[in-house]
């Protein structure tokens, strides 16, 4: 089972398709893909706020009564609404009151993310397989993720504000269409929410500023931040 935020790299969708075909050929199984009916951008820009306390807070801060803005450290709404909630809902539906075991693919070097819960198992942690080993096992079986991991350290949502600056530098170079889409999301967020955690992509950087910085670096120039962003 996987939860699709709708913002993965095209290569990742192709990879999932390949895994699905493999699973079906070898085991007669298909991957179940869960997806929010309205998606990432609707949640970011349009989801209406209903709770009175939330509406009052927004009015006080001069924010519109809709849209969640960029995900932040304190409010990582994307993981919650586009992944965790959907998976929990689906497990509940499948279980129908019965007990079940959930197998989660967290690698051994990320074991700190595991939860002490009898219903959850972490086979990679149990077998001591770390991220690099898991990737090599995939490569050895012909799954190369379309080369994503030769470019990026992590390959989740292309628009993730928690990714490293270096990953964003690579995004601009290797996925210019996704980079343009990110620039557009950034512009919309700043226009809708302003210069605050809702409208700001990273604490110290908008995507537009990063675009200028990367372009300056390419020319061998030092980037000087423009005060008008």
Alpha-carbon span 76 to 56, nearest angstrom:
21
* Structure-block tokens of residue 223: 């980037």
Stretch of 134-142, 154-162, 178-186, 191-199 contacting ligand SF4, by CB under 6 A: 154-162
User: Based on CB atoms, which residue is closest to ligand SF4, 36 or 213?
Assistant: 36
Which residue from 43, 63, 78, 185 is in contact with ligand SF4, where contact means CB under 6 A?
A: 78
Which residue from 13, 149, 162, 205 is in contact with ligand SF4, where contact means CB under 6 A?
A: 162
Residue reference for tokens 């994307």 = 78
Q: Is 5 in the site for ligand SF4 (CB under 6 A)?
A: yes
* Residue among 47, 8, 2, 21 nearest 158 (CA): 8
Burial 91-129 (b: 16+ CB within 10 A, else e): eeeeeeeeeeeeeeebbbeeeeeeeeeeeeebebbeeeb
Which residue from 55, 79, 106, 183 is in contact with ligand SF4, where contact means CB under 6 A?
A: 79
* Structure-block tokens of residue 50: 């209903």
Least distance between ligand SF4 and beta carbon 41 (Å): 12
Q: Is 157 in the site for ligand SF4 (CB under 6 A)?
A: yes
Q: Which helix (H) or strand (E) holds 37?
A: none
Q: Is 148 in the site for ligand SF4 (CB under 6 A)?
A: no
* Structure-block tokens of residue 197: 């955690």
Q: How many secondary structure helices (H) and strands (E) does the chain include? A: 11, 4
Q: Is 71 in the site for ligand SF4 (CB under 6 A)?
A: yes
Q: Is 81 in the site for ligand SF4 (CB under 6 A)?
A: no
Q: Is 200 in the site for ligand SF4 (CB under 6 A)?
A: no
Q: Is 160 in the site for ligand SF4 (CB under 6 A)?
A: yes
Binding site for ligand SF4 (CB under 6 A): 5, 71, 76, 78-79, 82-83, 156-157, 160, 162
């Amino acid at each position: 089972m996987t939860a699709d935020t709708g913002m993965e790299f095209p290569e990742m969708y192709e990879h999932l398709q390949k895994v699905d075909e493999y699973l079906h050929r070898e085991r007669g199984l298909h991957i179940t893909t869960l997806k929010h009916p309205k998606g990432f951008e609707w949640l970011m820009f349009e989801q209406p706020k209903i709770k009175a306390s939330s509406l009052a807070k927004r009015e006080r801060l001069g924010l519109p009564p809709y849209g969640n803005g960029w995900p932040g450290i304190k409010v990582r709404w994307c993981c919650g609404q586009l992944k965790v909630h959907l998976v929990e809902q689906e497990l509940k539906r499948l279980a129908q009151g019965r007990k079940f075991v959930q197998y989660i693919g967290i690698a051994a070097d990320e074991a700190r993310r595991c939860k002490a819960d009898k219903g959850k198992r972490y086979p990679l942690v149990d077998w001591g397989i770390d991220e690099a080993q898991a990737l090599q096992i995939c490569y050895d079986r012909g799954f190369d993720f379309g080369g994503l991991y030769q470019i990026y350290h992590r390959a989740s949502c292309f628009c993730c504000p928690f990714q490293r600056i270096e990953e964003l530098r690579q995004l601009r170079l290797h996925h210019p269409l996704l980079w343009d889409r990110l620039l557009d999301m950034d512009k919309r967020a700043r226009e809708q929410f302003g210069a605050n955690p809702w409208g700001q992509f990273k604490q110290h950087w908008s995507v537009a500023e990063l675009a200028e910085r990367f372009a300056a670096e390419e020319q061998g120039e030092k980037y000087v931040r423009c005060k008008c962003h």
